Chain A
Amino acid sequence: MSGHSTYQPQNKFLQWFEKRLPIGGLIHSSFVAYPTPRNLNYLWTFGGILTFMLGVQIVTGIMLAMHYTPHADFAFKSVETIMRDVNFGWLLRYLHANGASMFFFAVYIHMFRGIYYGSYKEPREVLWILGVIIYLLMMATGFMGYVLVWGQMSFWAATVITNLFSAIPGVGDTIVTWLWGGYAVGNPTLNRFYSLHYLLPFVIAGVVVLHVWALHVAGQNNPTGIEPASDKDTVPFTPYATIKDSFYMAVFCIVFAWFVFYIPNFLGHADNYIPANPAVTPAEIVPEWYYLPFYAILRSIPDKLAGVIALFSSILVLAFIPWLDTSRVRSARYRPLFKQFFWLWVIACVGLGWLGSKQPEGIYVILSRVFTVYYFAFFLIIMPLLGIFEKTRPVPNSISDSVLGAKA
């Protein structure tokens, strides 16, 4: 840990307890005395926001699970029973569904922050990779949760995504039949998705513990990308980061509440209010917005197996960024070329997201291909080369210098 524990409980009971299970000291050294860079901006509050959202999803999810029936004949109706008859069931449902969207919104900002400021660089590589693992677990959890509603989009999205595995040569079809528990998406599929959807958030919680631990070993990155050199550069987590995080969390909750109470179905798809019908295929099968960029990448490649490989690679490539980026300067603040390529990459991500909602034809598929190429080029070509060729701006001497310099 960070070794700044100065926890001396006054209370006799707490002293007694501390000798037996030093949780007080742990909390104190991790979240009270923990030295935090003084120059963190609002983008650093999203880690705390994500932990909060994980808690929201788990609490609302457990309460929904008390009323939900995971059987193909009853699932849709049980969700409607929750919406109509369970006291504040509508609130639980909308919190959970919109909470998933807010969870992904926060994780994307969190990841963009990490890439921009070089938070994945040495010594935070393991921290970054744990984050990629959390992201993958989130994607699996979100996908299975959406299937549980057993609306038209639930059923057909499950069919499309599970069918991806049939692209694996040789064993593909066997794997898909095994996944389904039958010869098509059906009740066995729903049941196992329910089991896994309940399990994975707790796996995520475990990896989050590792993620925060790894963070506390290295300490936070900060907008300058240079490590704190002295006590002048840091402030204790409580009260400084605590109060700042609380404020931004309240702002985040305002956005969350806006969706939940006023536009609860904006981010969803109308077709998911139609009960699943294996005999009727919807006009368009699209995933939730947070999967759209990957959907665009998948469909931009005409070959099925290549498309699936591109889809999974687009996420797995993230794990290699600490080694793909060769620059000695961490923060994009001092990397003018990287900054511009980064923003182009953000445009590509948003563009792919929008294209994922369109049919893969005409200009849409052309643009998807252009953006997909750029997406991979950013990681595989630009990041390695920029480290060698980029002329970086001079990095400040210390964090406190950069803070005071800004004021001068």
Chain B
Amino acid sequence: MKRTVLALTLATATAVFALPATAEEQVAPPRLKWSFAGPFGKYDEAQLQRGFKVYKEVCSVCHSMDMVAFRSLAQPGGPGFSEAQAAAVAAEAKINDLDDKGQPIERAGRPADYFPSPFPNELAAKSVHGVAPPDMSTLAKARTYQRGFPWFIFDIFTQYQEQGPDYIAAYLKGYEDPPKGFALPENGHYNKYFPGHNTAMPSPLQDGQITYDDGSPQTLDQYSRDVAAFLMWAAEPHLVQRKRIGFQVMVFLIVLAGLLYFTKKKVWSAVH
């Protein structure tokens, strides 16, 4: 009976895992090394600042980050701008507001404002490429790829939570010519990593497009990694604090569990 059960389970498992992927085809992006990965991960301030530069000069032309406030640029655990620098970034933005006569005006941004959308409304945003450019506040947590069995089990132990940045970096580098026979619609662009391969956005980045002041390579690969890291910070600004406190909590709990274990043994020795 036991052998039958085991045989059945193995047979089923083999049958299932041998199947090709159905539904939306998605090529798994390569796993990159991120400074914020793992239990002691931290954001690399220089990388976040470079990534922010990419966002500001390229992405913000179409993409809002309307849940990220300018002031958060100066918060600890982030790109490490000073309050004055964050205020300067804010001042460059144009924010729709009302004057004290109730008339609509455009004013300079303040640290309390959020990264605005360059479009007045959803329809206008949609009209450029047929799809509204998604807001980038939570984008790095809103994108992932199928890990498949058994890798998603291993991910619990390896703490792999960087599917979003891996996907974004791969996507930005993934524009290529469609393979022969692929029917690409009129306004679409072929991207290796986008599910279904037909993406509305044309390739936004290329080598040498943005000047880095810290001497980092001005390549598409570098831009992609930097902006993906920045977007991860935008989505999860308290990651560093979370992992730091997590370590303290784990140490506490493990010590507590150890003490409780020996206390339990002592108490129960009376009965055994």
Contact = CB atoms under 8 A, between A and B. Distances in A.
Interface of A: 38, 77, 80-81, 83-84, 90-91, 94, 235, 239-240, 243-244, 246-247, 250-251, 253-254, 257-258, 260-266, 270-271, 273-275, 283-284, 340, 343-344, 347, 351, 354, 359, 361-364, 367
B237 A84 contact: yes
Contacts of B129: none
A293 to B, nearest CB: 16
Contact of B39 (A83, A91, A262, A264): A262
A243 B260 contact: yes
B124 interface: no
Contacts of A263: 155-156, 159-161
B49 interface: no
B6 to A, nearest CB: 10
User: Which of B2, B22, B138, B164 has the most chain A CB atoms closer than 10 A to its own CB?
Assistant: B138
B267 A273 contact: no
Given A90-B242, A283-B195, A354-B149, A359 B23 contact: yes
Contact of A257 (B1, B155, B160, B246): B246
B144 to A, nearest CB: 4
6 contacts: A80-B67, A243-B268, A254-B254, A263-B156, A354-B149, A362-B19
B143 A270 contact: yes
B5 A257 contact: no
Contacts of A354: 149
A67 B23 CA distance: 39
Contacts of B257: 247, 250-251, 254
A368 to B, nearest CB: 12
A340 B2 contact: yes
B42 interface: no
A240 B235 contact: no
B250 A254 contact: yes
A235 B12 CA distance: 46
Contacts of A363: 15-16, 19
B7 interface: no
A80 B138 contact: yes
Contacts of B39: 262
A371 to B, nearest CB: 10
B176 interface: no
Contacts of B250: 254, 257-258, 261
Interface string B224-250: 000000000001011000110111011
B271 interface: yes
A363 B257 CA distance: 44
A244 B268 contact: yes
Contacts of B161: 262-266
Contacts of B138: 80, 273-274
Interface in B153-198: 155-156, 159-161, 163-164, 195
B264 A273 contact: no
Interface in B1-56: 1-2, 5, 9, 12, 15-16, 19, 22-24, 39
Contact of B253 (A81, A254, A275, A343): A254
Given A240-B267, A261-B249, A270-B164, A90 B23 contact: no
Given A81-B67, A257-B249, A263-B161, 5 more contacts: A80-B138, A274-B138, A351-B12, A363-B15, A363-B16
B137 interface: yes
A369 B245 CA distance: 46
B1 A361 contact: no
B167 to A, nearest CB: 9
Contact of B142 (A264, A271, A362, A364): A271
A266 B156 contact: yes
B246 A260 contact: yes
Contact of A90 (B24, B143, B238, B261): B238
Contacts of B69: 84
Contact of B264 (A247, A266, A270, A347): A247
The 4 closest A-B pairs by CB, nearest first: A261-B246, A273-B142, A250-B257, A247-B260
Nearest to A275: B135
Contact of B141 (A90, A265, A343): A265
A266 B139 CA distance: 16
B23 A250 contact: no
A344 B246 contact: no
Interface string B256-272: 11001101100110010
Contacts of B5: 340, 343-344, 347
B256 A270 contact: no
A64 to B, nearest CB: 16
A22 B161 CA distance: 52
B256 A250 contact: yes
User: Which of B22, B142, B195, B247 has the most chain A CB atoms closer than 10 A to its own CB?
Assistant: B142
Given A247-B261, A362-B22, A266 B67 contact: no
Contacts of A283: 23-24, 195
A262 B67 CA distance: 23
A265 B155 CA distance: 12
B134 A274 contact: yes
A260 B241 CA distance: 13
Contacts of A80: 67, 137-138
Given A84-B237, A243-B267, A261 B243 contact: yes
Given A77-B67, A246-B260, A284-B23, A270 B242 contact: no
B117 interface: no
A80 B135 CA distance: 13
Contacts of A94: 242
